[in-house]
Each structure stands twice: as structure tokens, then as C-alpha cells.
């Protein structure tokens, strides 16, 4: 396993928070505190590449602005569901 | 903070009875001198009160502060009974499991789909008010029926039953307005009513939110109890109209009584979206604190040490007037740009209906600006009457002319 983990099998998911949509509700940082952090009032993923984690899906599905996009390495969207 | 500090005597809280939409000047002093302070609510154990924006966000958003840990404790509260608040007394991941069920129906995208229908309901109601008056009661003509119709459509609750559930749902926001046993019986009746709607959907599936919740429940019976679904639906129905019903007249009241209110908005209706945010910040909707969070470990906050197991309540309106975050916080500025108010709360319990409420409030203002640009109070401000004994502050009636 590489230190960065980005190229490893484990880090198969990509997490993106759209700063133009985020309203800083704090829902994601509360529901998945190991994955999201509020910086200057807006959410940021702590890591862009992650191993699959239900918490991150929950956060993406719970975001009122659908600002959190979870995709696989090929770029196909995993969450939020349409 | 010093190691030898004597514990201060907790002050009774709320500091004063709510008066109109005034904010008690003590909050400004506390933010400056004692941002975390000891209080005692009418019932339950003493608590900390957080008054600064940053600390309020920490208490509401940091997983070291828990709602679930209030279960079994003598929770600081406003009424003798310690109610089961369902999803509001859960932490992740239990909380997330339930929240996910309904969050989808309240995203900004889904709420936009409801805007045209909300506009036509507002148009119809304001039209009827204009035909009936002036003067006319804004509470009865617009503020009450609009949010009820919208939430009923969304959930799939027959609006013709509104007299019944409107009575029951007061119990959800009551502190002292109802005797405890009456409040309890109203909650039971509301739950029973919801159970009936759920049962109907078993035989005749529907596309509304209750229908979707029933399908989810049947697909994941291991994860979701029947009662949880009924409670959640009842909570949405009650919260979905008690709060917006109250906030619409509050919003119009502030616009009509504060400088740079209605006239500024009339001159520049494009300000409606920022005006709604500013009104959410400016209006102290809550009459008191509720839903204390318990520290799961020792946490340094506001210059004090909150010990594991101690409860903390927050003042939303103090946070919304924090001069560290908002320039000239006691002034209504309908064009205020950066506005990270906590009027809808913060963290996992952030109001699930926030986007819906925003849309409804925007539609109401746009419709009134267009149909009744000369809107004004029809009685002297001093003759307005305010509700009491509820979690929210609001007008019982609002006679207006135009």
C-alpha cells in the first residue's frame, strides 16, 4: 500500500464538494466527521480519494444541496442517486 | 478559566419572557464577557448556554456533543414532561438511517419542482385576501393555509383533515400552552392518524412522501420500525407548518416595522432571496432553548471546560447577532451578502425543510410585493397580540391593509 493511497485498490472512490453549491449546513461533517471538515464555513473532503465508505454515501444522500459528488475512479457517479 | 474557580450559580433561563421579537440585551453582554454561562431551565438539570456563533456551531456540529446521550438524563427543558423527540434525540449513524429516508424529498432540486405550484397557491390565497379586505388578517388568509397546503401535498396528507392535525400539532411546539396530559394525548392522536395514512398506502400505494417512506420501510423492515415511520411523518407535518406558519407573519412584521424594510424591498424586489436569509438571521423565532447536547468527552469551549456528561444548550438568536461574524448585527440589511446565520440550525439536525421554507418565504414575499405593494399594518403596532407558551414566537393575528 502506498503512503498516498491514491493509486491503491483501496482508494477507489473520489469525493468532490462543489463549493458553489455548499451552504455549510454542517450535515456531512456531523454525519461523516472522518471524511468532511468545515473550513471557513464550507465543507471540504479530508481526502479526495477514499476507500468505499457508507458514511460518505450517507453524507452525499443527505446533503440538501446535493453538493457532494461521490464517483468511482472511472468517473461514474455513485452518489447522490438521481 | 482557573482551576480554582467557584462554580457560579446558574441563572434562570430564558432570562426574560419573550417580548415581541426583541432580543434580550443580556446576550450581547454574555458574548463579550461570559460566552459560555451556567443556566437553569424551568425543568431538568442545570446546563451551559453557548452564545457565540463559533461555539454554537461547535455544539450543534461537533460529534463530541450528542443528542442521544440525553436519553435517560433529566434533560434541561421547558415543560414538566420529557418528550420522546424521535429523530431529534438520535446521533449518527441511527440518525442518518432515518434522515436519509426523507432528505431526498427536501433537496433544493426537488423543492424547485414545487415552486410553480406554491406560486399558484400563494396567488390564489392573496387574491382571496385582496377580495375580502382591507383590512384582512394575514395569518388566517395566507400565513396559515399556504405552508399547510404545501406540506400536505408533499407528504400526501388530505388537506381536508387540517382542522384535526392543526390542533394536534400544536403539541409538538408547546412548552406551557397546553396541559401536559393534553399535549401527550394530541401527540398520540397525531401518531394514530399517521398510522392510518400508512395503512392506507399498504393497500393503495402512492407517489407522495408517506408512500415513499412506506415502500422504504417494507424494503428494509429490519432497519426501520412502523412506529419510526409514523413518528417521522408526524414530525414533518407538525414542523412543516408550525414553523413556517409562524415565520411568515414575523417576516412581514419585521419588514413593516424596521427601517429599510418593506419600502426597500418594494423598490428592489430582486433582493427577495437575500432578504429571506437576512430575515432568518434577524428574527429570533425561538422563544427559548431546546434540545440540549451532552458532551461525550471533556471539551474546551468559550473559555470554559465542559466536562463529559454535561449538557449544553445554544442561543440561536445570540449566534445570529454575533458581532464577530455579522457587521452591524442589530441592523436589518436586506442586501447582506455573507450571511452564515444559524436560523435553520447546524450540523446533522440542520432543518430538513430549510430549502422548502426558503422557497415558501420567497414566494410569499414576491406575491405580496406584486399584489399588495402598499402593504401596512391596519392597527397600531402596540395592539398586535403575540402567542405564548410555545417554542416559537409569533403573532396570533396580523391585520393588514394595502
Chain A closest-CA separation from residue B239 CA (Å): 17
Interatomic CA distance for residues B368 and B376, integer angstroms: 11
Measured between CA atoms, how close is B58 to chain A, in angstroms? 10
Name the one residue in this structure whose C-alpha cell is 436586506. B334
- Residue B4: pLDDT over 80: no
Q: Report CB contact under 8 Å: B347, A29.
A: yes
pTM here is 0.94
Asked if A66 is an interface residue toward chain B (Cβ–Cβ < 8 A), one would say yes
29-48 in chain A: CB under 8 A from chain B: 29-33, 38, 41
Q: Which pLDDT does position B216 carry in this prediction? A: 86
Residue whose C-alpha cell is 399547510: B148
What pLDDT score does A8 carry?
53
Q: Under an 8 A CB cutoff, do A65 and B340 touch?
A: no
Host H or E run for residue A24: none
Q: How far is CA B282 from CA A6, B62, B279, B349, in A?
A: 45, 25, 5, 21
Give Cα B382 to chain centroid, integer Å: 25
Residues in chain B: 402
Confidence label for A2 from pLDDT (cuts 50, 70 and 90): very low
pLDDT-derived band of residue B241, with 50, 70 and 90 as boundaries?
Answer: confident
Mean pLDDT of the residues in chain B: 93
Is the pLDDT score of A4 beyond 60? no
Q: Among candidates B84, B82, B115, B73, which has minimal Cα distance to B294?
A: B73
Tell me which residue in A26, A33, A64 faces B60 most closely, judged by beta carbons.
Answer: A26
Above 80 in pLDDT, residue B219? yes
Q: Is the pLDDT of residue A15 over 90?
A: yes
pLDDT tens digit sequence for B190-201:
999 999 999 999
Q: Would you say B261 and B254 are in contact if contact means Cβ atoms under 8 Å apart? A: yes
Q: What is the pLDDT of residues B20-35, one digit of tens each?
A: 999 999 999 999 999 9
Contact (CB<8Å) B96/A31: yes
Q: Report CB contact under 8 Å: B108, A66.
A: yes
Structure-block grid coordinates of residue A57 = 454515501
- Would you call A25 and B355 a contact, using CB atoms and an 8 Å cutoff? no
- pLDDT, one tens digit per residue, over B207-216 is 999 999 998 8
Is B221 a residue whose pLDDT tops 80? Answer: no
Task: Please write the tens of the pLDDT for every residue from B66-124.
Answer: 999 999 999 999 988 888 888 999 999 999 988 988 999 999 999 999 999 999 999 99
Give the residue carrying C-alpha cell 449513524.
B93
Residue of chain B nearest A54, judged by CA positions: B93
In the predicted model, is pLDDT for residue B316 greater than 70? yes
Report pLDDT for B156. Answer: 94
Tell me the angle at which helices B145-155 and B162-173 cross, rounded to the nearest 10 degrees.
Answer: 100
- What integer pLDDT is reported at residue B169 of this predicted model? 85
CA of B106: which chain A residue's CA is closest?
Answer: A64
From B95, B109, B350, residue closest to A25, measured CB to CB: B350
Instruction: Out of A30, A55, A81, name the one closest to residue B61 (CB).
Output: A30
pLDDT tens digit sequence for B36-68: 999 999 999 999 999 999 999 999 999 999 999
- SS3 for chain B, per residue? CCCCCCCCCCEECCCCCCCCCCCCCHHHHHHHHCCEEEEECCECCCEEEECCHHHHHHHHHCCCEECHHHCCCCCCECCCCCCCCHHHHCCCCHHHHHHHHHHHHHCHHHHHHHHHHHHHHHHHHHHHHHHHCCCEEHHHHHHCHHHHHHHHHHHCCCHHHHHHHHHHHHHHHECCCCCHHHHHHHHHHHHHHHHHHHHHHHHCCCCCHHHHHHHHHHHCCCCCCHHHHHHHHHHHHHHHHHHHHHHHHHHHHHHHHCCCCHHHHHHCHHHHHHHHHHHHHHCCCECCCCCCEEECCCEEECCEEECCCCEEEECHHHHCCCCCCCCCCCCCCCCCCCCCCCCCCCHHHCCCCHHHHHHHHHHHHHHHHHHCCCCEECCCHHHCCECCCECECCECCCEEEC
Which range, B152-166, B234-248, B356-370, is most confident?
B356-370
- pLDDT exceeds 60 at position A50: yes
Strand duo B36-40 + B11-12: pairing: parallel
Q: Chain A contact for B393, CB < 8 A?
A: no
* Bridge partners of residue B306, in order along the sequence: B299
Model pLDDT, residue B7 = 57
Strands B65-66 and B304-306: unpaired
* Set of cell numbers at residue B37: 454561562
Q: Is the pLDDT of residue A7 over 60?
A: no
B293 φ/ψ sector (left φ>0, alpha ψ -120 to 50, else beta): beta
Interface residue A27 vs chain B (CB under 8 A): yes
Nearest CA in chain A to B107: A64
pLDDT exceeding 90 applies to what percent of chain B? 81
Q: Which of residues 64-93 of B touch A (CB under 8 A)?
A: 92-93
| Cα B274–chain centre separation | 19
**pLDDT tens-digit series, residues B167-197:** 888 888 888 888 888 988 999 999 999 999 9
Q: How does residue B3 score in pLDDT terms, banded at 50, 70 and 90?
A: very low
CA nearest to A55, candidates A33, A76, A40? A33
Nearest-CA distance B96 → chain A (Å) = 7
Amino acid at each position: 500500500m502506498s503512503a498516498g493511497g491514491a493509486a491503491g485498490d483501496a482508494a477507489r472512490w473520489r469525493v468532490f464538494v462543489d463549493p458553489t453549491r455548499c451552504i455549510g449546513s454542517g450535515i456531512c461533517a456531523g454525519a461523516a466527521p472522518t471524511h468532511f471538515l468545515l473550513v471557513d464555513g464550507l465543507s471540504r473532503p479530508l481526502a479526495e480519494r477514499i476507500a468505499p465508505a457508507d458514511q460518505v454515501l450517507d453524507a452525499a444522500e443527505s446533503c440538501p444541496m446535493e453538493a457532494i459528488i461521490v464517483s468511482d475512479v472511472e468517473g461514474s457517479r455513485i452518489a447522490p442517486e438521481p | 478559566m482557573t482551576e480554582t474557580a467557584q462554580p457560579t450559580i446558574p441563572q434562570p433561563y430564558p432570562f426574560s419572557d419573550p417580548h415581541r421579537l426583541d432580543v434580550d440585551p443580556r446576550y450581547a453582554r454574555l458574548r463579550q464577557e461570559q460566552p459560555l454561562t451556567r443556566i437553569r431551565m424551568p425543568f431538568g438539570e442545570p446546563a451551559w448556554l453557548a452564545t457565540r456563533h463559533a461555539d454554537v456551531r461547535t455544539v450543534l456540529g461537533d460529534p463530541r456533543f450528542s443528542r442521544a446521550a440525553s436519553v435517560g438524563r433529566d434533560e434541561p427543558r421547558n415543560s414538566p414532561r420529557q418528550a420522546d423527540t424521535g429523530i431529534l434525540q438520535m446521533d449518527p449513524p441511527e440518525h442518518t438511517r432515518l434522515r436519509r429516508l426523507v432528505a431526498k424529498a427536501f433537496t433544493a432540486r426537488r423543492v424547485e419542482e414545487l415552486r410553480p405550484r406554491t406560486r399558484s397557491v400563494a396567488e390564489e390565497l392573496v387574491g382571496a385576501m385582496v377580495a375580502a379586505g382591507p383590512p384582512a388578517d394575514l395569518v388566517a388568509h395566507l400565513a396559515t393555509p399556504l405552508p399547510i397546503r404545501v406540506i400536505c401535498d408533499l407528504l400526501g396528507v388530505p388537506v381536508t383533515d387540517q382542522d384535526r392535525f392543526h390542533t394536534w400539532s400544536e403539541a409538538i411546539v408547546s412548552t406551557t400552552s397546553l396541559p401536559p396530559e393534553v399535549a401527550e394525548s394530541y401527540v398520540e392522536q397525531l401518531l394514530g392518524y399517521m398510522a392510518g395514512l400508512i395503512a392506507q398506502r399498504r393497500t393503495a400505494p402512492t407517489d407522495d412522501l408517506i408512500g415513499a417512506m412506506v415502500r422504504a420501510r417494507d424494503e428494509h423492515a429490519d432497519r426501520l420500525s412502523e412506529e419510526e415511520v409514523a413518528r417521522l411523518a408526524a414530525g414533518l407535518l407538525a414542523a412543516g407548518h408550525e414553523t413556517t406558519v409562524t415565520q411568515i407573519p414575523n417576516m412581514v412584521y419585521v419588514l413593516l416595522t424596521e427601517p429599510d424594510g418593506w419600502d426597500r424591498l418594494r423598490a428592489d424586489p430582486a433582493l427577495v432571496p437575500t432578504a429571506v436569509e437576512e430575515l432568518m438571521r434577524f428574527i429570533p423565532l425561538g422563544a427559548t432553548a431546546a434540545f440540549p447536547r451532552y458532551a461525550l468527552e471533556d471539551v474546551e469551549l468559550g473559555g470554559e471546560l465542559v466536562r463529559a456528561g454535561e449538557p449544553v444548550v445554544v442561543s440561536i438568536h445570540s449566534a445570529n447577532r454575533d458581532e464577530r461574524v455579522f457587521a452591524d448585527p442589530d441592523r436589518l440589511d436586506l442586501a447582506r451578502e455573507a450571511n452564515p446565520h444559524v436560523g435553520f440550525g447546524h450540523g446533522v439536525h440542520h432543518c430538513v425543510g430549510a430549502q422548502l421554507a426558503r422557497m415558501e418565504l420567497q414566494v410569499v414575499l414576491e406575491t405580496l410585493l406584486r399584489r399588495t405593494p402598499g402593504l401596512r399594518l391596519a392597527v397600531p403596532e402596540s395592539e398586535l397580540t403575540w402567542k405564548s407558551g410555545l417554542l416559537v414566537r409569533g403573532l396570533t393575528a396580523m391585520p393588514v391593509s394595502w
